[in-house]
Amino acid sequence: MKMMTIREAISNALREEMDRDDDVFIMGEEVGVWGGTYAVTRGFYDDYGERRVRDTPISEMAIVGAATGAAMNGLRPVAELMTINFAFVAMDAIVNHAAKVRYMFGGQFTVPLVIRTTTGGGRQLGATHSHSPEAIFAHFPGLYIACPSNAYDAYGMLKASIRDDNPVMFVEHSTLYQKRAEVPVDDPDFMLPIGKSNIAREGSDVTLVSYSKGVHIALEAAEQLEKDGVSAEVVDLRWLRPLDTDLFIESFKKTNRMVVVDEGYPMFGVASEITAQVMDHAFDWMDAPVKRVSAEDAPLPYSRELEQMALPDAEKVVKAVKEIVY
Amino acid sequence: MADLSKDTLLDMYRNMVVIRRLEEKSAELYQQGLIGGFLHLYIGQEATGVGAVWALGEDDHVITAYRDHGIAVSIGIEPKYILAEMMGKTTGVSKGKGGSMHLADKDKHFWGGYAIVGGHLPLATGLALRARYKDENFAVLCLMGDGSTNIGYFHESLNMSAVWDLPVVWMIENNQYGMGTAVDRASGETELVKRAVGYGMKEGPRVDGMDVLAVYDATKEALEYAKKNGPILMESLTYRFVGHSMGDPERYRTKEEVHEYQEGDPIRIFGDKLIGEHKVTQEQLDVFDREARDLINEAVEFATNSPNPEFDDLFVDIYS
Ligand SMILES: Cc1ncc(C[n+]2csc(CCOP(=O)(O)OP(=O)(O)O)c2C)c(N)n1
Ligand SMILES: [Mg+2]
């Protein structure tokens, strides 16, 4: 075990997988000479050269499309989209091609592709650069969506994603890169199973379900709630697809109350889906309506104060919990 | 000029006839409601598909758009597996999941037909990346319609292939229309190969797409070039004798125009050449035609008798 940031954990995972398998390579905008927009691949270009660390033109459609073609033809690309906001430009390549070529051709092709990208608001980047649209991608069968909240998970989930034969969108939160945790870097084969979520904190009165940055908000809320005598369990989904329904349903059957924390928009989002799953699988265990704490239903503004008001925070979560725990 | 044996020439002719008969039959099946979805026929363009695919070496690859039946036949997929796919049967090349627009055979290095205009272009870039990454000696032939030169995929994929010197032969099957829009109503520069200049890419020929041997020669040369140097953009000038897809009222062109092109039917041109220059008789060609009809009829029977997929198949092959 070694204490490190999410950035370092991801960087380590990438290096180990590249060292292990020559077919693993990196491509994307500014991944090479620049060292990665979020400095995740700093030093890679010098260490691995331009064959394996490939700077691309500003061509999101071709980054995802070419990475998909390379994966179909036996390579294992880790393609980087600088931020998830630019994934909209590559939507067709992701949704119609990476996710579907296997199915559409009767299983003839495999797509061992990882698309790494960053998500999230809170940095005053304005409406076009502050999206948290993971839910959109989780809509489509054929993709896996990874949303790690901490360094330990990021490390184990990325290694699993690279070794898996399916296309994975690996979504890193841009405000979490400096978060530290113990990471088992001494085990080169450490991996976290795809589609398994995690209890980040045990509790008995209410279940807080979240992922990525939302987990930290939920944990902060849980601390505050504890002072008020409310015991909150926090479920970290880790993956939006495959969605580990079992774990949060099990937790809900214990607490009978739930608040879902989600940085995406409230409509048609992750929180909506979790809520529907509870209706499907645990209606009889419900003691209060499931609550959603999402971003406000407005584009993200530039103003620092206004943007913070638009995003979920611990205070909003505590308030939502108090509405249903009585 | 192509240095092909008489037997090979006859096989190429046969190939063209099989495509034509397959297309006529699929139109019939479509009208009977036995084929559904969109159906885009290759009638008129056979010389392009056959010439281009026959130029491929053993290690080369091909990928195309939804007008893919001719490529599927040329690469060697038996018509029965093609028709079974069109009829949505489990015995189809894509197990009934793809339909007419999504034929593929990975073992034959045919990476499929794609229904999103331009969507397969970056896939070709990526397929070719392997050659440079692993220092392997192959090229990827990427066929596309004239219409696909105006979608962003074209720009991004060709540019990336040029930056990385990838062995791709980008071949535009210029059949003069994208659905109902003529090339000069869709492209500022109508000599489409000139786009190559903007990417610092080799500008290839505009070959007579009705002459199967001309297409063969030009493709062969382009593949060699691509393996050694990097991408090349070429055009095959052709024409589809039928509508864009089934039920196209064809308001965008005159019957006279179509008839004029039909005078230059690529199968007849090649047949005449075989008779004139290779001592083949009309009777021999007629035999090929009968054999092709028989082959297609047997294929229909095979497809008809094949099972439909079942509910559980819905969830097969979403993930590996
Ligand atoms: C991105 C996208 N836009 C629109 C369509 C609808 N569409 C299908 S075929 C076609 C025309 C394409 O023409 P061309 O590339 O010349 O190929 P051809 O049909 O002539 O073989 C259009 C517009 C599509 N399939 N994909
Ligand atoms: Mg066309």
Given a cut of 90, is residue A221 above it in pLDDT? yes
A70 and B105: CB-CB below 8 Å? Answer: no
The residue written with tokens 């953009």 in the block is: B233
Residues of chain B neighbouring A76 (CB-CB closer than 8 A): none
Query: Which amino acid, B291?
Result: E
pLDDT of residue B290: 98
Nearest to B97 among A56, A61, A103 (CB): A103
Best of A60, A88, A108 to mutate (most B CBs within 10 Å, chain B): A108
> Does the pTM exceed 0.80?
yes
C-beta atoms of A57 and B159 within 8 A: yes
Counting from 1 in the atom list of ligand 1, the atom nearest the Cα of B178 is: 13
Which residue of B lies nearest to A165 if distances are taken between CA atoms?
B320
Q: Which CATH architecture describes the domain A198-325? A: 3-Layer(aba) Sandwich (3.40)
Q: Per residue in B29-67, pLDDT tens?
A: 999 999 999 999 999 999 999 999 999 999 999 999 999
**CA B185 – ligand 1 centroid, Å:** 15
Name every chain A residue with its beta carbon within 8 A of the beta carbon of B114: 97
From the CA of B244, give the closest atom in ligand 1. Answer: 19
Residue nearest to atom 2 of ligand 1 (CA): B117
CA of B67 relative to ligand 2 center, distance in Å: 10
Identify from A73, A94, A144, A164 which residue to disrupt to test chain B contact, counting B C-beta atoms within 10 A and taking the largest count.
A73
Three-state DSSP state, A237: coil
- Indicate which residue's Cα is closest to atom 12 of ligand 1: B178
Q: Sorting pLDDT into bands at 50, 70 and 90, what band is A253?
A: very high
Buried b (16+ CB within 10 A) or exposed e, A23-54: bbbbbbbbbbeebbbbebbeebbeebeeebbb
Q: What is the residue extent of each domain of chain A?
A: 2-183, 198-325
> What's the gap in Å between the CA of A28 and the closest CA on chain B?
11
Residues of A in contact with B124 (CB under 8 A): 69
With a 6 A CB cut-off, is B145 part of the ligand 1 pocket?
yes
A96-136 per-position pLDDT tens digit? 999 999 999 999 999 999 999 999 999 999 999 999 999 99
pLDDT at A90 over 90: yes
- For residue A92, give the H/E element and its range: helix A91-92
- In the CATH scheme, what is the homologous superfamily, with its name and number, of domain B6-306? Thiamin diphosphate (ThDP)-binding fold, Pyr/PP domains (3.40.50.970)
The pLDDT of residue B1: 65
Measuring CA to CA, how many Å separate B30 from each of B64, B87, B98? 22, 9, 16
What is the tens place of the pLDDT at every residue in B219-270? 999 999 999 999 999 999 999 999 999 999 999 999 999 999 999 999 999 9
Q: B3: pLDDT confidence band, cut at 50, 70 and 90?
A: confident
Tokens representing residue A247 in the block: 């774990």
Q: Quick check: do A2-183 and A198-325 share a fold?
A: yes
A229 token code pair: 């005598």
Note if A8 is an active site residue. Answer: no
Q: What are phi and psi of A310, to 5 degrees?
A: -75, -25
* Residues, beta carbon < 5 Å, ion ligand 2: B 145-146, 175, 178
**A6-20 vs A44-52: helix axis angle to the nearest 10?**
50
Q: What is each CA distance from B133 to A116, B128, B130, B136, B204, in whole angstroms?
A: 21, 9, 5, 8, 25
A216 part of the active site: no
ipTM: 0.97
pLDDT tens string A127-179: 999 999 999 999 999 999 999 999 999 999 999 999 999 999 999 999 999 99
Would you call A107 and B121 a contact, using CB atoms and an 8 Å cutoff?
A: no
- Nearest-Cα residue of chain A relative to residue B135: A51
The CATH code that applies to domain A2-183 is 3.40.50.970
Among A16, A17, A29, A60, the active-site one is: A60
